[in-house]
Amino acid sequence: MKAVFVGPKFGNSAVRIEETGITDPGREDVLVKVVAAGLNPLDYNLINGNIVYNLKPVPHIPGSEVIGIVERESRSFKKGQRVMVYNRVFDGTCEMCRTHREHLCTNGGIWGVVTNGGYSEYVTVPEKNAIAIPDSIDNDTAVSIPIGALTAYRALKRAGASAGKKLLVYGASGNTGIFAIQFAGIMGMDVYGVSRKDWVREYGCTEVFGDGKVPDQFRADIVMNSLGTLFWDDAVKHIQTGGTLVSFGVLTGREAKLDIASLYTREVSIIGSTGGDLKDLTETLEIMKTHKFRVPVAKRFAFNDIGEALEEYSRIRDGRIIIEFA
């Protein structure tokens, strides 16, 4: 089969397509013929050497958002079944796993980072990582669930999202932002976005503020910042007294300053969130089975055109990039 490789040199120009073998599935594994994969900040940063997590192996096959078709019948799946890959490596035995926080497994990590990922024609994954896709969810939405939807849902859940609360989303036109807006709307929240893209109103924003142009007096019960350093000060400023800032991205940097007095005198909570556990994923799919979600797609690229996809990713665009393996 063919797969995308990067390393030991990194960068968009270092990506290449090579022939490699298919890992023969064991009794508790499933072989999946990849249909589509997402290109997201995690993959893009990995390819360009900006790696937060331990990377192995090198050379490396990236790709942490993948859907496909079961190629061979296994104990739990029939051939032809549509599945997504739950992109967390977990052993099921550590304290995190025993308390149903598989995504924080002390002996695991992100599939596609601590293991080879899904930018290949086939992947072999443990059956526990193969998740059946409900028929009501289309491919564009499904391929965006393992990172975009799951991350947004858990972040809202950890921040205490509920009906009547006000949410401010930085990076509202991004993959997680679009899902956060839609989940929050279903939860009965009043949603505001920060984005250069006014079209995010179509996904459920009451109002959209241009980058860095949130009115000084504006306050929200929950502020979601997936962008990192650039908007950190602004995000903290707009938290309501007793409110919460939830963060899960470092796209514009990973360091920030904080006024500690402002933190405790306003009883503000700042929490981190990353991905989601299997229960979160089950809840996400249950919501998405009964509510229609939309995903803006800027462009689709064939597997062999990965270089062009990476170039497009670096540009300002309307929607996400999907890589197809038909």
Q: Report residue 174's pLDDT band, with 50, 70 and 90 as the boundaries.
A: very high
Evaluate if residue 50 carries a pLDDT over 80: yes
- 164/265 same-domain check: yes
- 71/160 same-domain check: no
Distance, CA of 132 to CA of 86 (rounded, Å): 10
Q: Please report whether residue 290 resides in a domain.
A: no
Distance, CA of 320 to CA of 112 (rounded, Å): 19
Three-state SS across 89-124?
A: ECCCCCHHHHCCCHHHCCCCEECCCCCCCCCECEEE
- 126/157 same-domain check: no
Per-residue model confidence as pLDDT tens digits over 35-45: 999 999 899 99
Task: Identify the DSSP state of 229.
Answer: G
One DSSP character per residue, 304-324 reads GGHHHHHHHHTS--SSEEEEE
- 222/101 same-domain check: no
Percent of the chain with pLDDT over 90: 86
Tokens standing for residue 30: 């499933």
- 139/152 same-domain check: no
- 133/7 same-domain check: yes
Query: Structurally, how many domains does the chain consist of?
Result: 2
Q: Report residue 212's pLDDT band, with 50, 70 and 90 as the boundaries.
A: low
**Mean predicted confidence (pLDDT) in 285-307:** 96
- 152/140 same-domain check: no
- 32/131 same-domain check: yes
Q: Please report whether residue 288 resides in a domain.
A: no
Specify the residue for token string 């924080």.
Answer: 104
Q: Report residue 326's pLDDT band, with 50, 70 and 90 as the boundaries.
A: confident
> Domain containing 197: what range?
148-272
Look up the pTM and report it.
0.95
Tokens standing for residue 318: 């309307």
Provide the pLDDT for residue 197: 92
**One-letter identity of residue 216:** D
